[in-house]
Structure 1
């Protein structure tokens, strides 16, 4: 979509305008990139999440339900992860892969409500395609419904997120990758799905609510979070936070041209399942080995990598390309994810071509920033 008026808007768009948001296009939606003001800007917003609490509008994310007798079994026979390992009230990271190539159509979260209903949250740009594929293969009695524009999603992330939720009367403290459905007192008759998930690596929650109630929920959270130093956060900070954790972004680190094995997402594949899309191709690739792999790179100097920059073993031997690259506000260093040849020694130092100058990068283990203590 090329023109501003053609882009979809979040039900919170007016709230963002009032906060002086700078907008950008994400998956066909116009969404806040960062905010102005005392707590605004990517670095300040990023730091608020790492040290206190931040509130994101991620309503551009897709929402789809698979319902009817055998709905969960159908999802389990199509998406990569093993839904049989979780039960009602739990969530799971999973992949929608192409059946012929094994490439990643999308990565998404599945919320297992019961055997007859599963809520899926795919990426904005891929929702229609994921829904199309699920509709095409659905057995009789199973209905796939695209609810992309019916619900808003707010992400409350950071060390004080439990306290902020409690202050507005919503449940907090449940296990990671689980969810609770609750009423929201500020708007009678409105339910909120409070999911203990997120894309920042910090303790946090994602809240799914009907569009009409989203502004009231946003206002309540911002007011309750004020004593804790809450910041409204844009998708710029969301990107730096997820990169520090090594979480992949579809369209950059993963795509139809990248398989779960290449992306080191084999842990999100139920290898013992009898069926899922792409199984034959991925089983063969698992046995033979992938031709490339996603690696984490940290600058040894002052270079700041960006997507599509070349990665080399020596100045004359290109071995891959940066898929995500940024300045880490936490580490004060350049960091990157890159797809490189599987033949490259994992201990080898690599070069990144930054505007004609080759800067040195070390291969490191993910995450770049350890938040495991705060996530427990």
Structure 2
């Protein structure tokens, strides 16, 4: 449902009467393609207003805000809904008409490929596990990409904790690389570094040479915008939010360069999504719901687990998976060798960390500054060390099983 702010339509169109220059500061993980049309139009409507935008990935932006928003940013704008839940928990958001954050667009996840590069692209998430995609899939690092964190949580919430991690660990066998930002996935597709990219819809749909398919079930998640505490221009921030949620602001989402799904339900009803039937069904039937509160509570845990079991082991895991597949192609493997092979696969697909353990931990703190947010409590440091040890032990056991084959 579109949230209508209690501001008059003239609140953002009376710039001609303003005699003093005003500056609005926005911190966002959105690409320039998304924020530039809004900035340009808002400045045109308000001639004495200047909008300054700093683009940071979601986790770096959260780190900036967690330090107290010392540079006085007025708005935070991102696609990851759990980021806003974390900011609300730690009282970093300033309400507008009683609401601390405001949905402005809907998004969902899937995979992309270069048009004309694949005769038969993957049809489902499980298709991506096929060994023919080994070394052909790109993904961004979730601890540096809010949209990839959405991807992890989608599987954990839809399939359950154990099956979700088993799928993600199996999927990692086909990764070509782990990029540092969401944009790196689309860039990697365009440059030919890999053939399939896991991404959020709008990053791919806005590219003329990139095709995109929604994964089922389609989980629609709300991209949000919010006013920050300690901002330098709180009134101007409210005017900008009102503009983004206005009919004109929502229409901007429909431009060919953006192709985003507006939050305005009445506007959505005037559109055709026939090219994406699974999306159209999701908009009508709400196939699956996404819980940002759960995602926010275990934000650090999920990202850290992925880093310990996938990112930090990437080369070793890829080598082990390649050896397993090579051995499976042998015409003859004795019973003992097959047992070792199956045990190796089991070790690679095992997540020893239970959902109960995660649920009993303290909620995730705000990310800290730096290239990655480090644990800032003694408890987290202990968990991090334990998870690293468990990940190393399981991988070493898989490697040992493969050494036994043929001996």
Q: For the pair shown, which has the larger CA radius of gyration, 1 or 2?
A: 2
Structure 2 length as normaliser, TM-score?
0.30
Q: Which has the higher strand share?
A: 1
Structure 1 length as normaliser, TM-score?
0.32
Q: Which has the higher helix share?
A: 2
Higher RCO (C-alpha 8 Å, min separation 6): 2
